[in-house]
Chains A and B, each alone.
Chain A
């Protein structure tokens, strides 16, 4: 399975945008990019996903590069409650497999 890699940790000031990068240089054409977050070893929570185009929902925006080798999750106005581990995930629709990346520990600072 292809691996996604992410920075180990990042800090962000409260109220500022948090930009979390993910490298998925070996992603294939039918693999979606998903983002989840995990707070205090609870179950991971869905944030957003995309295949080729940029996506936006009420929680975040997802920017995928044209060659699909990397993506960035944007939390537009980070709050203290956004402190969590954020995972970039590759999903293969043919096998229903969600493979987690290495994860970024985001700390939002007051």
Chain B
């Protein structure tokens, strides 16, 4: 199984709502990532978890709150978002080891619309 599964595929939420994005992998990967991608732009790194601990936060606003409950799951909790936060949110995972076998696997993304 080389899949990273993201749910939901599409999400529409109001600016006062609280919602969560979910990501799951069963490849035994110990690094997991959240990326944000605006239309016609490259994905931008938001967070990196390694061994279930948050290792990198790329100065992301606190209205985005990541959580890694176990080595297979990654959540992104959303609260009080703005319309400009509308984007494709991508989850990825990788082996988190030094050396050559470190390709990341990406999910298909959650397309988020904030109204």
Contact = CB atoms under 8 A, between A and B. Distances in A.
A76 to B, nearest CB: 21
Contact of B42 (A45, A49, A91, A100): A100
Interface residues of A, number: 24
B109 A102 contact: no
Contacts of B43: 44, 87, 100
Interface string B31-60: 101000100001111001010000110000
Contacts of B99: 93
18 contacts: A32-B102, A41-B109, A41-B111, A43-B92, A44-B90, A44-B106, A49-B100, A49-B102, A51-B100, A87-B43, A96-B31, A96-B102, A97-B45, A97-B48, A99-B45, A100-B42, A100-B43, A101-B42
Rank and list the top 8 A-B pairs by shortest CB-CB distance, nearest first: A43-B106, A100-B42, A96-B31, A46-B103, A93-B98, A43-B108, A44-B106, A103-B42
